[in-house]
């Protein structure tokens, strides 16, 4: 067998193993997790329609749950600090290209969270819809900054002739995500050449600054004299915060696109406990609908928030996912695998961190048996999320970085 054939066979074996694990996860998932799925969603949507019963100073600051009391107080404090913080202090107007939630739930989430947060801190911000008219958006909004993603699916939806025409008479800086070929994109040198021809002014990344500066594959961005802006994920506390009036009666919750890593870490938990699993790719969810406002009402019922990362987040100290911050802000005790950056983001005792699937299962049992410890860690994680890791903090940072572009 030659090397090429051996390589293909090895890849097929890995793919088969992952498919088998996914199949096992679905097959052994407890029936109640599947049958109660849509009832849990319906209950959350009903609660959202009566949100004043669960979201007011009177209800939340007097809640018996310390996570609700602390989270609500921190939310008020952080919002008071950031509300209109930059209003009237800059002429920036930011247009953000946002994918549809059907095409990219993750992209929709992070770009919409950024847009809302920039608007909250006083920066005029508008969304360029996935099928929106570039020329019309430029004429009506007069942006000084356009943010999009360096991927063909995004770039093909922008009228670059309209961008060039607008830039001829107006101040506009265009920024794209700094993505690598190693993460399923086209060769970087070709994309940088395209960027030069189309007047791209800077790149930005959701990844950690030290990681970007130390990883050699990013060097072509700097060699091409592009400014790099850094925008880590965070919790949008306009949507993710604790709500009052709910018992923690769901053993676990995870809302994420289905990946083979979930099967590896979660299969023993899903086999023996009833929970709530939602997101694209899960067979029992049917027509997944993204709804940030509803999700906090589901998190409010969770005894444990499960969280699993991508392989590159485990291998490299590059980022932790949005879910890490969202669970923390909502006050959910969090069981997480071990993304390499996690200790630089949260205190070690703020989360339950597992290095292996076996340890993941053991820690889950520990949380279920020691709810006081789980609450103690969740309080610490929530405090750190609100004071350092909201999307208001990220919006404030990106605005300051834009001043140097």
This prediction has a pTM of: 0.91
- DSSP calls for 255-316: ES---HHHHHHHHHHHHHS-EEEESTT-TTT-S----HHHHHHHHTTBS-EEE---HHHHHS
* Cα 96 versus chain centre, distance: 16
What does each of the 405 residues of the chain score in pLDDT, given as a tens digit? 455 555 555 555 545 445 545 555 665 788 899 999 999 999 999 999 999 999 999 999 999 999 999 999 999 999 999 999 999 999 999 999 999 988 998 899 999 999 999 999 999 999 999 999 999 999 999 999 999 999 999 999 999 999 999 999 999 999 999 999 887 788 999 999 999 999 999 999 999 999 999 999 999 999 999 999 999 999 999 999 999 999 999 999 999 888 888 889 999 999 999 999 998 888 777 776 778 899 999 999 999 999 999 999 999 999 999 999 999 999 999 999 999 999 999 999 999 999 999 999 999 999 999 999 999 999 999 999 999 999 999 999 999 999 999
Query: Which residue ranges make up each domain of the chain?
Result: 30-76+237-389, 93-234+392-402
Return the CATH fold of 30-76+237-389.
Rossmann fold (3.40.50)
Question: If you write DSSP's letter for every residue of 369-380 in order, what string do you get?
Answer: H-HHHHHHHHHH
Angle among Cα 198, 203, 208 to the nearest 5 degrees reads 165
Token duo for residue 33: 């997790």
**CB of 300 within 8 A of CB of 330?**
yes
pLDDT of 12 reads 59
pLDDT score for 5 = 58
C-alpha pair distances (Å), 238 with each of 55, 58, 78, 390: 12, 19, 11, 10
Give CA–CA dist 103/106, Å, rounded. 9
The string of DSSP letters for 331-396 reads: T--EEE---TTHHHHS-GGGSEE-SSHHHHHHHHHHHHH-HHHHHHHHHHHHHHHHHH-BHHHHHH
Number of alpha carbons in the 13 Å side-chain half-sphere of residue 117: 27
Tokens of 197: 């021809």
Q: Distances in Å between the alpha carbon of 272 and those of 120, 258, 332, 374?
A: 43, 19, 20, 20
Q: Write the CA distances from 59 to 37, 64, 76, 304, integer angstroms.
A: 27, 10, 14, 23
Fold agreement (30-76+237-389, 93-234+392-402) = yes
Q: Give, as one character, the DSSP assignment of residue 29.
A: S
The answer to whether 148 and 132 have CB atoms below 8 angstroms apart is no
pLDDT at site 16 = 47
Instruction: Give the model's pLDDT for residue 258.
Output: 84
Instruction: For residues 28 and 270, give the distance between their C-alpha atoms in angstroms, rounded to a whole number.
Output: 7
Query: Domain 93-234+392-402 carries which CATH code?
Result: 3.40.50.2000
Residue 128, classed as helix, strand or coil, is: strand
């Amino acid at each position: 067998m030659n090397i090429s054939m051996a390589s293909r066979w090895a890849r097929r074996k890995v793919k088969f193993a992952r498919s088998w694990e996914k199949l096992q996860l679905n097959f052994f998932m407890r029936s109640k997790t599947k049958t109660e799925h849509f009832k849990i969603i319906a209950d959350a949507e009903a609660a959202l329609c009566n949100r004043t019963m669960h979201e007011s100073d009177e209800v939340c600051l007097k809640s018996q749950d310390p996570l609700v009391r602390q989270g609500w107080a921190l939310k008020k404090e952080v919002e008071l600090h950031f509300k209109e913080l930059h209003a009237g202090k800059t002429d920036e107007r930011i247009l953000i290209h946002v994918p549809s939630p059907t095409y990219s739930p993750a992209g929709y989430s992070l770009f919409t969270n950024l847009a809302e947060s920039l608007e909250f801190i006083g920066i005029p911000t508008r969304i360029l819809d996935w099928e929106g008219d570039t020329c019309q958006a430029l004429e009506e909004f007069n942006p000084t900054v356009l943010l999009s993603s360096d991927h063909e699916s995004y770039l093909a939806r922008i009228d670059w002739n309209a961008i060039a025409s607008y830039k001829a008479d107006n101040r506009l800086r265009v920024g794209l995500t700094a993505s690598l070929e190693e993460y399923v994109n086209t060769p970087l040198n070709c994309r940088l050449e395209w960027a030069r021809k189309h007047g791209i002014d800077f790149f930005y990344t959701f990844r950690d600054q030290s990681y970007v500066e130390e990883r050699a594959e990013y060097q072509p961005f700097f060699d091409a004299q592009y400014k790099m802006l850094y925008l880590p994920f965070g919790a949008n506390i306009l949507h993710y915060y604790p709500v009052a009036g709910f018992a923690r009666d769901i053993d676990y919750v995870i809302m994420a696109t289905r990946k083979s890593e979930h099967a590896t870490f979660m299969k023993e938990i899903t086999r023996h406990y009833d929970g709530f699993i939602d997101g694209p790719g899960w067979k029992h969810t049917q027509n997944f609908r993204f709804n940030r406002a509803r999700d906090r009402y589901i998190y409010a019922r969770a005894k444990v928030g499960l969280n699993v990362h991508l392989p590159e987040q485990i291998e490299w100290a590059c980022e932790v996912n949005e879910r890490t911050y969202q669970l923390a802000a909502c006050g959910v005790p969090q069981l997480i695998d071990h993304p390499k950056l996690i200790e630089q983001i949260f205190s070690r005792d703020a989360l339950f961190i597992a290095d292996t699937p076996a340890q993941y299962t053991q820690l889950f049992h520990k949380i279920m048996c020691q709810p006081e410890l789980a609450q103690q860690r969740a309080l610490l994680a929530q405090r750190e999320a609100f004071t350092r890791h909201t999307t208001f903090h990220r919006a404030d940072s990106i605005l300051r970085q834009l001043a140097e572009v």
